Amino acid sequence: MDRKILKADAKNAMKQAFISPYMVTVIMGVILMVLTVIQVFLDKWQEILESSNAGADQWRSYILFSIVFFVIYFILSTLLEFGYQSFCLKVAKRDESMSYGDLFSSASYFFKALGLYFIIGVFVFLWSLLLIIPGIIAALRYSQAIFIMVENPDKGVFQCIEESKDMMDGHLWEFFVLNLSFILWHLLALITCSLSYIYVYPYVTVTQANYYNKIKE
Nearest 5°: the CA angle 24, 28, 33 is 145
Query: What's the pLDDT score for residue 47?
Result: 87
165 secondary structure, DSSP code: H
> Each residue of 10-26: pLDDT tens digit?
999 999 999 999 999 99
For 88-146, write each residue's pLDDT tens digit: 999 999 999 999 999 999 999 999 999 999 999 999 999 988 888 888 999 999 999 99
- The pLDDT assigned to 53 comes to 77
CA distance 187 to 182: 9
Among 6, 5, 4, smallest CA distance to 207 is for 6
Q: What is the pLDDT of residue 130?
A: 81
Summary count for the chain: helices (H), strands (E): 10, 0
**What is the crossing angle of helices 110-128 and 132-141, to 10°?**
150
- pLDDT value for 215: 93
CA dist 84 and 129 (Å) reads 29
Q: What is the DSSP letter of 113?
A: H
- State the CB neighbour count (10 A cutoff) for residue 88: 32
What's the whole-number mean pLDDT along residues 75-85? 95
pLDDT in tens, 175-191: 999 999 999 999 988 89
Alpha helices in 93-196 (DSSP H): 110-128, 132-141, 145-151, 157-168, 172-180, 183-191
- Residue predicted with more confidence, 213 or 48: 213
Cα–Cα distance for residue pair 116/153, rounded to 1 Å? 11
Residue 54 DSSP SS3: coil
Q: How many C-beta atoms lie closer than 10 Å to residue 30's C-beta?
A: 10
Q: What mean pLDDT do residues 61-66 have?
A: 91
Mean pLDDT (the chain, rounded): 93
Query: What pLDDT is stored for residue 51 in this prediction?
Result: 83
Looking at residue 190, its pLDDT comes to 87
Return the pLDDT at 54.
73
Q: Please determine, for residue 216, whether its predicted confidence score (pLDDT) is greater than 90.
A: no
pLDDT-derived band at 80 (thresholds 50, 70, 90) equals: very high
Q: pLDDT-based confidence at 217, cuts 50/70/90?
A: confident
